[in-house]
Copies of this chain bind each other. A is one copy, B any other.
Amino acid sequence: MKKAVVLLSGGLDSSTVLYWAIDKGYDCSCLLFDYGQRHKKELKGAAKIASLAGCTYKIVKISLPWATGSLTDKAQKIPYNNKLLTSVHGQSSLPSTYVPGRNTIFISYAVSYAESIGAKTIFIGANAVDYSGYPDCRPRYYGAFDRLLQTLPGKIEIKTPLLKLSKDGIVKLACKLKVPLKHTWSCYGGGNVPCGVCDSCLFRAKGFNLAKIEDPASL
């Protein structure tokens, strides 16, 4: 079997990517990150989903003491109902939930892990359609990262099967692949139940509504 490393947050997108990769015949090892996110609850969902999928997972603890955005700083409010709260970290056109360099760091750990276990593929559930506008979710970023990895002897490729799908397309794909959606967690809010008003909740609700499917996590 082809070995792969899957970046798994426990959200709708990364969980769907995991099941997509398994469906394509990959032997998946999952990487989860505890980076001080206010919605650390997603890690429980990620662990559950990896286990249900029969995959191993590792949780990597990351410290980003300089990150001042609202996703890691609980003293700040997160944006709600499409109200844009811009970042305080020098990228003023980005939402405050942007974590500087987050996906670059996640992928770099995945590169290290993949090189170590001899995996040739990294999967990430990035999406550039129904998304918060993060620059590290865009096609040209992943194209350039893939070209970077081709300069290394591992020749690892990055696969982003959801990159150009709409959220309702992802929901439909997840249902087709039998992703255990009730265990996925998308909310940024940090509460015990989804807030329903953060970007991530709104995109998720839009996806389920347009797909005309009830969200099992809300039942």
- A residues lining the B interface (CB < 8 Å): 58, 60-61, 63-68, 89-91, 93-94, 99-102, 104-105, 107-109, 111-113, 115-118, 135-136, 138, 140-141, 143-145, 147-148, 150-154
Across-interface contacts of A136 in B (CB, < 8 A): 152
Contact, CB under 8 Å: A58 / B65: yes
Across-interface contacts of A135 in B (CB, < 8 A): 151-153
Task: Tell me the number of copies of this protein.
Answer: 2
The residue in chain B whose Cβ has the minimal distance to the Cβ of A69 is B116
Q: How far is the CA of A200 from the CA of B15 in the complex (A)?
A: 43
The residue in chain B whose Cβ has the minimal distance to the Cβ of A154 is B91
Contact, CB under 8 Å: B111 / A104: yes
Across-interface contacts of A153 in B (CB, < 8 A): 91, 93-94, 135
Instruction: List the 8 shortest-distance A-B pairs measured between CB atoms, nearest first.
Output: A101-B112, A100-B115, A108-B108, A90-B118, A144-B148, A66-B116, A104-B108, A101-B111
**A-B pairs with beta carbons under 8 Å apart, 25 shown:** A61-B63, A64-B112, A66-B117, A67-B112, A90-B116, A90-B118, A91-B153, A91-B154, A94-B153, A99-B112, A100-B111, A100-B115, A104-B108, A104-B111, A104-B148, A105-B109, A105-B111, A108-B108, A135-B151, A135-B152, A135-B153, A140-B151, A141-B151, A144-B151, A148-B148
A167 → chain B closest CB, angstroms: 23
The residue in chain B whose Cβ has the minimal distance to the Cβ of A64 is B112
Q: How far is the CA of A113 from the CA of B62 in the complex (A)?
A: 13
Across-interface contacts of A94 in B (CB, < 8 A): 153
